[in-house]
């Protein structure tokens, strides 16, 4: 059986769907897994379920901003 290492997870957070799609296309790589969230609340839910290695977030979003999400 091959040694299967877990890929690092990058979380992309933006309230604009087109921005998330563009970031996903740009960052798509077999060396990591991408998750997307369209709000701070959705990002927090994903972070509760997954061990996220990095977050790329919009700073200005309705509700919870990017900084609040990363705390």
pLDDT (tens digit, 9 = 90+) per residue, 6-63? 899 999 999 899 999 999 999 999 999 999 999 888 999 999 999 999 999 876 665 5
Does residue 1 belong to any structural domain of this protein? no
Q: What is the CATH number of the domain that holds 49?
A: 3.40.50.2300
Does residue 30 belong to any structural domain of this protein? yes
Write out the residue range of the structural domain in which residue 46 sits.
9-70
Residue 42, class by beta-carbon neighbours within 10 Å (0-12 exposed, 13-18 middle, 19+ buried)?
A: middle
Q: Is the pTM of this model over 0.85?
A: no
pLDDT of residue 63: 58
Number of Cβ within 10 Å of residue 63's Cβ equals: 10
Does residue 51 belong to any structural domain of this protein? yes
Does residue 2 belong to any structural domain of this protein? no
Say how many domains are in the chain.
1
Does residue 4 belong to any structural domain of this protein? no
Residue 46 makes CB contacts below 8 A (sequence gap 6+) with 11, 35, 37, 52
């Amino acid at each position: 059986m091959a040694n299967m290492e877990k890929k690092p997870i990058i979380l992309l957070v933006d309230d604009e769907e087109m921005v998330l799609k563009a970031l996903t296309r740009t960052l798509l790589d077999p060396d990591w897994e991408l998750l997307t969230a369209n709000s701070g609340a959705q990002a927090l839910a994903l972070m509760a379920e997954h061990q996220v290695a990095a977050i790329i977030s919009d700073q200005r979003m309705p509700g919870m901003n990017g900084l609040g999400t990363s705390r």
